[in-house]
Amino acid sequence: MSVAQAIAQNSTPLLEMRGISKSFPGVKALDSVDIALYPGTVTALIGENGAGKSTLVKILTGIYQPDGGEIIVEGEPVHFASAEAAIRNGITAIHQETVLFDELSVAENIFLGHAPRNRLGLINWGGMNARAAALLTSIDAPVSPYMRLKDLSIAQRHLVAIARALSVEARVVIMDEPTAALSYKEVEDLFRIIERLKRQGKAILFISHKFDEVYQIAERFAVFRDGRSIGAGLLAQTSQDEIVRMMVGRSVDHVFPKFDVAIGNTVLKVSGYSHPTEFNDISFELRRGEILGLYGLVGAGRSEFCQSLFGITHPSAGSLELEGRLIEIRSPADAVAAGIVYVPEERSRHGVVLQMPIFQNFTMATLGRTTRAGFLREAEEFALARRYAERLDLRAAALSVPVGTLSGGNQQKVVIGKWLAARPKVIILDEPTKGIDIGSKAAVHAFMSELAGEGLSVLMVSSELPEVLGMSDRVLVMREGRMAGIWKREELDAETLVRAATGNP
């Protein structure tokens, strides 16, 4: 409570947005929303995918211009005509997928666009590297300013992005799902940095789908739903259930909707699957109606293994039996024909074609169903897309708008719908709820259960323990490319899985 009291005393916002509205063709993304950020305080912005969080961030950073409303910094109304103007006003953002430059050094990445210069107007390399080193030290980043960015891990890149954000004398720091790609320990490190920023009096806007993180790091919250402000206040005075209710407009059961499904015969039998570098000797059986969780640390070779089942990469040894028949999968087309489909982890890179219309994405993998002799039949395409859009409760302005206009959760629905249209026997879901809000998450989980109930076999790669424990009939754990074991649902507990995945006795 002491933090909350401190905030109550210091109640002048550093930055305020009042009555902000923004429309896109067919969608009202923001409808007169308000939010206030206070110095030395973390404000969590909470909302489902499509609630308008990203639009708000883009307005705050000068990328979008609002249709109405005002932004007030320290009592003065301001107008951000460009991203540069926002930076000049001390507003800086660390985005979900940070844009950095692989071939440049860490220092160059940090100071790109505002490098210190010498008397001749040339870049002051010594000064730049020294300042970069100081910034990196100030956030305890174990990174040298001289390293090439491409040699860094994802977590290290994140630290560089934070250093970059701090290099511009920021007063307001926006963090858009900063923990999405980080491990548990890396999240702890990030939170230490955030605490330090708080002490320096910076106002922080923290966007995350993870409630435990929000409660751990933030003092204030603001909830958006369907482009409107629903509620705001102090987290210490608000329960998680209340916030969830504000988010979805109804209560969501936190229990994972895993139904009991009659497990049938073996559908897929994998024997001794190996790859020269990524995985070795993977064997298991997947049954009808079963959800098999695939757990492991990032880099354990889970995605690579799944992609070999789907024909993207090729195994060096091992065999595959589908319903008792030996099959060989040389390409994704082979896999689809056999009835194995794959929902990839990197949705916008591998899952959807962002520029193409929703209905064309739905039919992309199964054009044979809506064509005759190779000729497209648009009416049938719309009908097929509509069927799956309705089944998955897709939220879109029209079926002919580009998939890129949808929120992440709705894009994932398109990917899943695309594969359901292929009438698969086995569906591989690679981190199916990564970066998706709690409402869509529950919907995806319920849907997964429903599919298993219809007799589909599900192979679910996940790094989230609650999801693995809640949804799986059995769990296969991979460690450094090898199988660490398979556990049945009744034998499962978090400790066992983490020990198996990390190799700690």
Question: Would you tell me which residues interact with other proteins (CB under 8 A)?
Answer: 23, 25-26, 67, 248, 250-253, 255, 257, 310, 312, 331-333, 335-336, 342, 344, 349-356, 359-360, 364-365, 367-368, 371, 374-376, 382, 386, 389-391, 393-401, 418, 439, 442-443, 445-447, 450
Min CB(418)–other proteins separation in Å: 7
C-alpha distances out from residue 16 to 20, 94, 469, Å: 10, 19, 42
C-alpha distances out from residue 412 to 1, 57, 252, 432, Å: 39, 22, 20, 8
Please identify which residue in the block is written with the tokens 């090439």: 148
Min CB(502)–other proteins separation in Å: 30
Angle, in degrees to the nearest 10, between helices 378-391 and 408-420: 120
- What DSSP assignment string belongs to 44-55? EEE--TTSSHHH
CA dihedral sign of residues 416, 422, 424, 428: negative
Residue (19 or 332) nearer to other proteins, CB: 332
- Please state, in angstroms and rounded to a whole number, the distance separating the CA atoms of residues 440 and 149: 34
Residue (295 or 447) nearer to other proteins, CB: 447
Min CB(333)–other proteins separation in Å: 4
Min CB(430)–other proteins separation in Å: 11
Record the tokens describing residue 307, joined without a space: 């992609």
Classify residue 284 by burial, with Cβ atoms within 10 Å: 0-12, 13-18, 19+: middle
Min CB(374)–other proteins separation in Å: 5
In the chain, the amino acid numbered 418 is K
Residue (72 or 446) nearer to other proteins, CB: 446
Classify residue 255 by burial, with Cβ atoms within 10 Å: 0-12, 13-18, 19+: exposed
Contact call for residues 89 and 78 (beta carbons, < 8 A): yes
Interior angle at CA 183, CA 178 and CA 184, nearest 5: 100
3-state secondary structure 451-492: HHHCCCEEEEECCCHHHHHHHCCEEEEEECCEEEEEEEHHHC
Min CB(336)–other proteins separation in Å: 4
In the chain, the amino acid numbered 392 is L
Residue (396 or 468) nearer to other proteins, CB: 396
Min CB(478)–other proteins separation in Å: 21
Contact call for residues 241 and 223 (beta carbons, < 8 A): no
Residue (42 or 438) nearer to other proteins, CB: 438
Return the closest-CA partner of residue 447 out of 386, 396, 392.
392
Residue (324 or 374) nearer to other proteins, CB: 374
Min CB(443)–other proteins separation in Å: 4
Return the closest-CA partner of residue 472 out of 451, 453, 458, 454.
458
Min CB(359)–other proteins separation in Å: 8
Min CB(217)–other proteins separation in Å: 27
Q: Residue 10: enclosing H or E segment and its boundaries? A: none
Residue (189 or 381) nearer to other proteins, CB: 381
- Please state, in angstroms and rounded to a whole number, the distance separating the CA atoms of residues 130 and 132: 5
Min CB(365)–other proteins separation in Å: 4
Record the tokens describing residue 269, joined without a space: 């039998």
Residue (119 or 250) nearer to other proteins, CB: 250
Rounded-to-5 percentages of helix, strand, coil across the chain? 35, 25, 35
Residue (156 or 303) nearer to other proteins, CB: 303
Residue (111 or 310) nearer to other proteins, CB: 310
Residue (234 or 367) nearer to other proteins, CB: 367
